[in-house]
Amino acid sequence: MKKAKQLRTSIILMLLLAATTWASAGNEKTQFIKCGNMNQWVTRQVKESGIIGGKMKTLYEIAPTKTWPQNAPYTNHGGSPWGTSNVLAKVSGVTKTNLSVYRDQHPGHGSCAKLVTHIETCKVLGLINIKVLAAGSIFLGETLEPITSTSNPMAKINAGMEFTGKPKALKFDYKVKLSGHPNRIRETGFSKVKTVAGIDMCDCVCFLQKRWEDGAGNIYAKRVGTMVVRFSKSTNGWVENATFPIHYGDITHKSFYKPYMGLITGDDTKWAKNSKGQMKPVKEVGWAAENEMPTHMVLQFDSSHGGAYIGSVGNTLWVDNVRVEY
């Protein structure tokens, strides 16, 4: 009887441990980013305007399973902190979508995210053929749909999520397939295709910020923690439990520092909603001391690293099981 009671207690304890988002490995603890196991997805059906072909497209978002109303703007569902580059645009009365993030399978782990760099085409009345290079991205934040203009794209993404921890590393599973092209292209749809020197790489960017507002609602930040990795080679299948250290404080004099790890400026500046619900640029004004605590995490995975309209068609990044390690 005593052994049976101990066994029952042990089983209950194991179930409780399995139900939590925390996992222990030795002296280390990992915590999943909410919905970071990529096993639940929202499915969206969007019918594009007849003037550009009237196609019905299926879009995917990382959030608790749900079928979204047709052609309805998406807002982050079920407490999910994730946004994607799958967006609905309504410009001058024309409905158009971009599809560059897919739900895929990670053997033994259920679903995963598949990010693809591709050419998004748009034929107007079957005559005018517009082509734009679009990379696949998933990120912590939300896109403010519908997109109604092409100006200032960063102002249409509420970037980052509230986060007060100081993990030692970011951990995830990934797979990379690069295009194999020696150079990239820049294709905006409004000018000739240009060659951009250097191979295209997939990447992951993680910044921990300490944000605050002034009396006018402007948002400022100091950089608390930094992790940037670029994947310059295709992998031979999945890389499981990859661990990337987060570096704290001013890293500009560290041996591993690269310019792309620096403070965010110019067109790359992230935007976010202030306490009044207004979208404002998040101005990174300096490096935090190593002992300062963050208020937000900025995290993004991309199939191309060069910014808007730049990349190589076919670059693909698979991502799964995104978590932090303490």
Residue 171 sits in a domain whose CATH number is: 2.60.120
Strand-strand pairing, 296-302 and 202-213: antiparallel
Q: What is the pLDDT of residue 27?
A: 62
Domain assignment of residue 21, yes or no? no
When pLDDT is cut at 50, 70 and 90, the band that residue 188 belongs to is confident
Is 23 part of any domain?
A: no
Structure tokens at 292: 């300062």
Q: What pLDDT is stored for residue 126 in this prediction?
A: 60
- Whether the CB-CB separation of 179 and 314 falls below 8 Å is answered with yes
pLDDT per position as a tens digit, 222-275:
999 999 999 999 999 999 999 999 999 999 999 999 999 999 999 899 999 999
pLDDT > 90? residue 190: no
- Does 15 map to a domain? no
Neighbour count for residue 235 (Cβ, 10 Å): 16
Residue 91 lies in a domain: yes
How far does the chain reach from its first CA to its final CA, in angstroms? 40
- pLDDT at residue 304 is higher than 90: yes
Q: How confident is the model at residue 112 (pLDDT cuts 50, 70, 90)?
A: very high
| Residue 128: predicted pLDDT | 61
State what percent of residues in the chain have pLDDT above 70: 90
Does a structural domain hold residue 41? yes
Residue 10: predicted pLDDT: 34
- CA-to-CA distance for 111 and 121, rounded, in angstroms? 28
The mean per-residue pLDDT over the stretch 124-137 comes to: 80
Could you write out the three-class secondary structure of the chain? CHHHHHHHHHHHHHHHHHHCCEEEECCEEEEECCCCCCCCEEEEEEECCHHHCCCEEEEEEECCCEEECCCCCCCCCCCCCEEECCEEEEECCEEEEECCEEEEEECCCEEEEEEECEEEEEEECCCEEEEEEECCEEEEEEECCCECCCCCHHHHEEECEECCCCCCEEEEEEEEECCCCCCEEECCCCCCCEEECCCCCEEEEEEEEEEEECCCCCEEEEEEEEEEEEECCCCCCCEEEEEEECEECCCCCCCCCCHHHCCCCHHHCCEEECCCCCEEEEEEEEECCCCCCCCEEEEEEECCCCCCCEECCCCEEEEEEEEEEC
Residues 6+ apart with CB under 8 A from 309: 132, 133, 134, 186, 187, 188
Percentage of residues in the chain having pLDDT higher than 90: 80
Least confident of 139-143, 148-152, 224-228, 264-268: 148-152
What is the pLDDT confidence band of residue 308, given thresholds at 50, 70 and 90?
A: confident
pLDDT band of 280, cuts 50, 70, 90: very high
- Domain contains 6: no
Amino acid (1-letter code) at residue 314: G
**Count: domains in the chain:** 1
pLDDT value, residue 13 = 30
Segments forming the whole domain that contains residue 281: 32-325
Whether 276 maps to a domain, the answer reads: yes
Per-residue confidence (pLDDT) for residue 91, from 0 to 100: 85
Convert the pLDDT of each residue in 2-34 to its tens digit: 444 433 333 233 222 233 334 555 567 999 999
Q: Is residue 199 one of the residues assigned to a domain?
A: yes
Q: So what's the pLDDT on residue 125?
A: 65
Contact indicator for 89, 97 with CB cutoff of 8 Å: yes
| pLDDT for 259 | 96
Does 310 have pLDDT greater than 90? yes
